[in-house]
């Protein structure tokens, strides 16, 4: 086993159980049968426990889109060419991608981070934090060194801390990287022992033949690299991605400061699993936004015992599903803030 130096990983504060209980007590006084607002009630309690506020302030919110390229694209595992990664990064910074549209609607700011795109990109709206120009081809060698994987996580921690320093109180994870469903599937196999056939999906839309090939590529990457399932940094370095490492860091950085983290689809959820394996205390800060169509997403959520809030048959990534869950978090807070209690409204309580 690799001896991992983890002294750079921050401590994560425990959640506030008193405020969680106070939120439940308040919910139970509101003019509705107890528990009848279902997931909204659970979210209000989780947000209260994370923030320590009965009515959490989650007004200033951001989606962080980590972008990186994948050497494994040389194996022909995606329906789209690798050039789409830098092209989509420019689309994000110009505000034209799906996540930009949905984020505007949800009152969220989009921060795109070049953590590993295989192109020289510059734009005032782009956070340039490149660790390297894409990963190596994991079907032939380790995608990254341990140092590079650690550097990617550190970038994520720093970006989250920078945004929290600017007042952001709710963070969603997003990513862009052609080939990253292949890396995510390999990581999920490494962590869980699942077979590629159970974790590999259609990604950007590959057909049956390519799907079989993608399964074989994942199998080969695991065979060539033998990632240690008990060492999350080893898994990330050998069969992961720079943007996935960045998201691991975002999750750790947000949790460190008591900021709730809304997880997007398959790739983001695999990043969350890596974060949980690295730092188990981040788990209670995670909110799963939606169940992606991508095969393997249910498995990774089950592995973390997370329940997705939305089921919209989406399979895009970028943080699109995560920002769609923001209005529901607002609903959970509004219920806590505005709804009348039985006593206030003069409504009779439960009889039996």
Ligand X SMILES: Cc1cc2ncn([C@H]3O[C@H](COP(=O)(O)O)[C@@H](O)[C@H]3O)c2cc1C
Distance CA 345, CA 339 (A): 10
At CA 33, angle to CA 32 and CA 39, rounded to 5? 85
Q: How far is the CB of 78 from ligand X (least distance, A)?
A: 3
Smaller CB distance to ligand X: residue 75 or 175? 175
Site string for ligand NIO, 301-320 (x = CB under 6 A): --------------xxx---
Q: How far is CA 339 from CA 37, 58, 346, in A?
A: 12, 18, 13
User: Taking the mean position of all CA atoms in its chain, how far away is CA 6?
Assistant: 21
- Identify which of residues 44 and 268 has a Cβ nearer to ligand NIO in the complex: 268
- Which 3 state secondary structure label does DSSP give 66? strand
Restricted to residues 156-215, the positions that interact with ligand NIO (CB under 6 A) are: 181, 203-204
Per-residue mark of binding to ligand NIO, 218-257 (x: CB under 6 A): ----------------------------------------
Q: Which is nearer to ligand NIO, 168 or 266 (CB)?
A: 266
Q: Assess 342 for contact with ligand X (CB under 6 A).
A: no
CB of 320: closest distance to ligand NIO in angstroms?
Answer: 8
**Residue 44 vs 292, nearer CB to ligand X:** 292
- In this structure, the chain runs to a length of 352
| Residues 6 or more apart whose Cβ sits within 8 Å of residue 129 | 113, 114, 115, 155, 158, 159, 246
Binding of residue 294 to ligand NIO (CB under 6 A): yes
Report the nearest approach of ligand X to the CB of residue 294 (Å). Answer: 9
Identified binder of ligand X from the candidate list 235, 317, 321, 335, rule CB under 6 A: 317
Could you say whether residue 296 binds ligand X (CB under 6 A)?
A: no
59 is catalytic: no
Residue placing its CB nearer to ligand X in the complex, 50 or 97: 97
Closest separation in Å from C-beta 320 to ligand X: 8
The C-alpha angle 106, 107, 112, rounded to 5 degrees, equals: 95
- Kindly state the smallest distance separating residue 111's Cβ from ligand NIO, in Å: 18
Count other Cβ atoms within 10 Å, centred on residue 55: 18
Q: Any idea which residue has 């506020």 for tokens?
A: 53
Interatomic CA distance for residues 90 and 92, integer angstroms: 5
Q: How far is the CB of 257 from ligand X (least distance, A)?
A: 26
Ramachandran assignment for 34, one of left (phi > 0), alpha (psi -120 to 50 degrees), beta (any other):
beta
134: left (phi over 0), alpha (psi -120 to 50) or beta: left
d(CA 55, CA 333): 6
Q: Closer CB to ligand X, residue 151 or residue 183?
A: 183
Assess contact for 175 and 317: CB atoms under 8 A. yes
Q: Which does 292 bind (CB under 5 to 8 A by kind): ligand NIO, ligand X, none?
A: ligand NIO
Select which of 41, 148, 150, 318 is catalytic. 318
Question: Residue 315, exposed/middle/buried by CB under 10 A (0-12, 13-18, 19+)?
Answer: buried
Residues near ligand NIO (CB under 6 A) are 181, 203-204, 264-267, 292, 294, 297, 315-317
What residues are annotated to the active site? 318
Footprint of ligand X (CB under 6 A): 78-80, 84, 88, 175-182, 203-204, 316-318
């Amino acid at each position: 086993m690799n001896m991992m130096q983890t002294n750079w990983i921050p401590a994560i504060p425990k959640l506030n159980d008193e405020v969680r209980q106070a939120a439940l007590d308040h919910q139970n006084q509101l003019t509705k049968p107890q528990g009848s607002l279902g997931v909204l009630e659970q979210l209000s309690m989780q947000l209260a426990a994370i923030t320590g506020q009965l009515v959490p302030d989650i007004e200033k919110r951001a989606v962080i889109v980590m972008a990186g390229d994948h050497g494994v694209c040389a194996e022909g595992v995606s329906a789209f060419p690798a050039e789409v990664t830098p092209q989509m990064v420019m689309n994000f910074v110009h505000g034209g991608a799906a996540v930009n549209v949905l984020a505007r609607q949800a009152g969220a700011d989009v921060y795109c981070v070049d953590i590993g795109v295989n192109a020289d990109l510059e734009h005032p709206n782009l956070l340039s934090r490149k660790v390297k120009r894409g990963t190596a081809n994991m079907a032939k060698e380790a995608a990254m060194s341990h140092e590079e994987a650690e550097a990617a996580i550190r970038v994520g921690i720093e970006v989250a801390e920078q945004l929290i320093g600017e007042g952001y109180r709710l963070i969603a994870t997003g990513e862009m990287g052609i080939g990253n469903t292949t890396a995510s599937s390999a990581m999920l196999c490494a962590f869980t022992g699942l077979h590629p056939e159970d974790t590999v999906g259609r990604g950007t839309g590959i057909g049956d033949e390519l799907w079989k090939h993608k399964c074989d590529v994942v199998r080969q990457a695991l065979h060539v690299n033998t990632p240690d399932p008990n060492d999350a940094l080893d898994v990330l370095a050998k069969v992961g991605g720079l943007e996935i490492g960045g998201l691991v860091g975002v999750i750790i950085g947000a949790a460190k400061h008591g900021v709730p983290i809304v997880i997007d689809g398959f790739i983001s959820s695999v990043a969350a699993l890596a974060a949980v394996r690295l730092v188990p205390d981040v788990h209670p800060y995670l909110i799963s936004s939606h169940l992606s169509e991508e095969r393997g997403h249910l498995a990774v959520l089950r592995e973390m015992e997370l329940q997705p809030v939305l089921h919209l048959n989406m399979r895009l990534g970028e943080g699109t599903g995560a920002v769609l869950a923001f209005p529901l978090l607002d609903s959970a807070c509004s219920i806590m803030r505005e709804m009348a209690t039985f006593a206030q409204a003069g409504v009779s309580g439960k009889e039996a």
